[in-house]
Structure 1
Amino acid sequence: MKIEKPLFKFFYIGIFLLPSAPSIGSIFLFLCLICSLINNFLELIKDRWNITFFISIFLFPIICLIQSSRFFYKFNNFDKSLTWIGLNNWIPLILCFIAFQKFVNSKSDREIIGKLLIAGSFPLIISGIGQYWFNWYGPFEFLNGFIIWFQRPMQTETGLTSLFSNQNYAGSWFCIVWPFCLSFFIQSFRNNLHRFISLGFLISISTCLILTTSRNAWGGLLLLITLLRGASLFWPIFIGITITIISVFLLNILIPLDIQTTISNLFPSWINQEFTSTHFQFRESRPEIWWEAIKLIFKNPLLGLGAGAFPIIYQSLKNAYAGHTHNLVFELALSYGIPITLIVFVPIFLICFFSFKEIYIKKTNNIDINERAWFASFFTLLCTQQVDVQYFDLRISIIFWVLLAGLKTRISPQII
């Protein structure tokens, strides 16, 4: 392994700073990316999993060149440079997946990363508590705007956002960290101090997650609990969660009004509002957005319509605003085409499948709760990106590929 110990320290600093100071943390991570690629390029490019992603990196600019010379869907007010800018959400991050495998190659490496994610989230907990209970409102800027903590004012229709610009981003991050909190709490019973600290983080992260009022995060928490419980109950509970989510969309049709009222009285109003149609009457529904996205994907399935095109087209078609497709797979397919989407996401799904078998199905004497936490964190993040897209936040997109890199190194000895 051609990674020097000081470089590991840079990587750890980058991960630690990522939640609260992503601009600075990403600089440390970028240095690690460059050094890892330079020192290990020949080894990395021989890996059959990495070859697929290297191909995607080569194809993305070619697609953009074709899109820039000939757009397949005619509409006004679209800046063609957006499709090039959109590559920042894919090429550098796919390189992170390739380069960072050397930093998450062992169980001990992954355990350290889990602890750093928890420790680095401490400012988010403090700021979230201050925002929700003590009216600490921002935005707060540091280093001439290089670091921004949003700390949005609390309103009746929004929940805790902490340092993020949106409660869904905050909820997604707390979902990422939550399984590591539970993992280290379970392992801390031999040390009273560690048990006290880990319990404090677990309670704090859980509270902040719930207070975001993000339905995506709430559903993610249910999935996390299921995944950490084990494989035996995974599919029945997962199906149950799916049915529950579908039922929410159909609630006003299937359940009589008096029963709805009885059920709603069991929960606080700030929870009830997240499941009432009146709370979302001025927003486009997910099924409507998805259906329009699918139709637009097939306008040019091979090369897509360009990154940033969807909100403009949707506005012109529906006279309503939707910032993205609310589905990461649809987003990539609409932006750059179905072939590149398959090249990127089929390996991701396969890594999930093989790592699930390795962590949950393979016969072992002891349950490795750290490895389950790592899988649960990534798989839940992947699932929640199919009903909303927080991926475009730098913190979430970087940790998406770091977690995937860890799963890949977990299964590659058995696959290659």
Structure 2
Amino acid sequence: MATDLRPLAAIRLAALDAHLLRHRPADASPLGWRCFQLGLFLLASSAFLGGLLLFVALIQGSRGRSSPWQDGSNRVLLLIALLMVAGCFGARSGALAWVGLGNWLPFFWAFWGYQPYLATPAARRRVALWLVAGTVPVVITGLGQLWFGWSGPFQVLGGLIIWHLKAGGSPEDRLAGLFDYANIAGSWLALAWPLQLAALLETWQRWRQGLRDPAGGGVPSRSAGILLALALLMAAGVVAAVYLTDSRNAWGALVLAVPLVVGPASWLWLLPLLTLLVLVVGLASVPGVPDVVQEPLRHLVPESIWGRLSDLEHSGDRVQASTRLAQWGVALELIGERPWLGWGAAAFSLIYPLRTGQWHGHPHNLPIDLAVSHGLPVAVLLVGFVLWLMLRAAWRGMAASSLFERAWWTATLVLVALHATDMPFYDSRINVAGWVLLAGLSQVGRPPASH
């Protein structure tokens, strides 16, 4: 006689639903809270599915709330939006200027619409864990493409999720995973790393607490041990994946995040250790260091690290126009020629080849790119807005608060730092994650929004 599995499935679905509703902020709709969590979990794996769920969450998060213009932050974003639109009318890049607004205006709305889901530290911790869980496929597919030669496309859910993997990485021998390029994968992993580190440290603390718990006979529970092993495995996977992206920015983010997430209590021994590590790697990498000092250190530091940091693969044959300094120099000239409303989104990619003979899609610096595309006022307002959010959250205690609060603030700092020498926000998944982080910062120390 066949067994009816429907009651068991219904029980499991009910348990999953109850789990999704945990730690829901008071002003967040149940449907929106469910969609927000699942959307962030799926975001790295499928921009389509993750974006669809997050759009539902955005609609739900915008309903029944007081006017967004009561908040000074939203008024600043409105002014920025108006300046961006005004610049499109005389843009050098034509229709591309209007298309480029899609990188900004929808996310200004998201900044406001996602705030109800990030109103409490418990909600932000839960969101951070969903982002960590969603990073697992990035690590697995990235290691698979390099170590086992996995090559896509792989399809899941009847083609709703399609993973385009290139065997050997993209570019060659550099881990990219579910992203088109290794530097973008490195940026995602870098922003996830502080959150992953917080998950590891929290699991470690609970395991240690189990050791000291007399009620447990001095032995931690089996589940705590399993969770610690999983957290260690995931953290090791993220570190390995970051290393294999060959992204110098992501490498730096690994080091930057550790003291900020671990917290000041460990700085007495941690900061000297990290300083020594950075000093050794720096002396092994920087040109001009005497051979008597550098050669022994280059035997100590892997060549894959000091060679990459010293740009060994480009030494002697790199075209000047392809360097960051050359790109910034031309970009500053463009800013000087049209400082108020800019040249329009994507104009840099059109003008730079005409002036240098080399093509680059952007100047590898977000403030400079903003000023070229939309003018200095927009660049100053938007960069100042982000820095103000970070400083205010730090002033309200986030950077020195609980473990996941410190990790959230650190992840935002990492993403801001990455945009000083690259432009990962052009990947929609990183753009979404970045505005979620900013929305979380805006809620630190605030009472829940009223309906």
Question: TM-score interval w.r.t. the shorter chain?
Answer: 0.7 to 0.9
Partner deviation per Cα, 1:254-292 (whole Å, 9 max, x = no partner)? 323564444333233332431234413436222221122
Aligned to 2:421: 387
Could you tell me whether the CA contact under 8 Å between 1:171 and 1:214 is conserved in 2? yes
Counterpart CA distance in 1 for 2:347 and 2:263 is: 41
Percent identity over the alignment is: 29
Counterpart CA distance in 1 for 2:283 and 2:82 is: 42
Alignment of 1:396-415 (within 5 A): 396-412=430-446
Matched, 1:4 2:29: yes
Q: Which residue of the other structure, out of 113, 121, 125, is the alignment partner of 1:99?
A: 113
Kindly provide the amino acid, as one letter, of the partner of residue 51 in structure 1: R
Kindly provide the amino acid, as one letter, of the partner of residue 180 in structure 2: S
Partner deviation per Cα, 1:38-74 (whole Å, 9 max, x = no partner)? 32251x321112221122223322221233xxx4xxx
Q: Structure 1 residues 361 and 326, CA, compared in 2 at 3 Å: closer, same or farther?
A: closer
Aligned to 2:201: 186
In structure 1, runs of 5+ residues without a counterpart are: 72-78
Q: CA RMSD in A?
A: 2.9
Could you tell me whether the CA contact under 8 Å between 1:354 and 1:411 is conserved in 2? no
Could you tell me whether the CA contact under 8 Å between 2:261 and 2:410 is conserved in 1? yes
Aligned to 1:299: 337
Q: Give the Å deviation of 1:223.
A: 1.0
Please give the TM-score of this superposition, normalised by the length of structure 2: 0.80
Could you tell me whether the CA contact under 8 Å between 2:199 and 2:231 is conserved in 1? yes
Aligned to 1:160: 175
Alignment of 1:191-206 (within 5 A): 191-206=224-239
Counterpart CA distance in 2 for 1:212 and 1:250 is: 18
Aligned to 1:74: none
Counterpart CA distance in 1 for 2:158 and 2:350 is: 32
Q: Which residue of the other structure, out of 251, 256, 259, is the alignment partner of 2:286?
A: 251
Q: Give the Å deviation of 1:369.
A: 0.7
Alignment of 1:228-243 (within 5 A): 228-230=261-263
Please give the TM-score of this superposition, normalised by the length of structure 1: 0.86
Partner deviation per Cα, 1:233-266 (whole Å, 9 max, x = no partner)? 69x89x979x979x799932x3235644443332
Could you tell me whether the CA contact under 8 Å between 1:181 and 1:202 is conserved in 2? yes
Counterpart CA distance in 2 for 1:328 and 1:136 is: 33
Could you tell me whether the CA contact under 8 Å between 1:359 and 1:372 is conserved in 2? no
Partner deviation per Cα, 1:89-138 (whole Å, 9 max, x = no partner)? 11011211111111111011101101101111121121112112111123
Alignment of 1:1-400 (within 5 A): 2-42=27-67, 44-67=68-91, 71=92, 80-140=94-154, 147-154=161-168, 158-188=173-203, 189=207, 190=210, 191-230=224-263, 251-252=286-287, 254-257=288-291, 259-280=293-314, 281-282=317-318, 284-359=322-397, 367-400=401-434
Kindly provide the amino acid, as one letter, of the partner of residue 347 in structure 1: F
Counterpart CA distance in 2 for 1:413 and 1:291 is: 45
Q: Give the Å deviation of 1:153.
A: 3.0
Kindly provide the amino acid, as one letter, of the partner of residue 182 in structure 2: Q
3-state DSSP of counterpart to 1:40: coil
Partner deviation per Cα, 1:6-56 (whole Å, 9 max, x = no partner)? 2110111111110101111101111222232232251x3211122211222
Q: Give the Å deviation of 1:359.
A: 2.8
Could you tell me whether the CA contact under 8 Å between 1:142 and 1:148 is conserved in 2? yes
Partner deviation per Cα, 1:279-309 (whole Å, 9 max, x = no partner)? 1343622222112211211111100011111
Greater Rg over alpha carbons, structure: 2
Could you tell me whether the CA contact under 8 Å between 1:11 and 1:28 is conserved in 2? yes
Could you tell me whether the CA contact under 8 Å between 2:39 and 2:50 is conserved in 1? yes
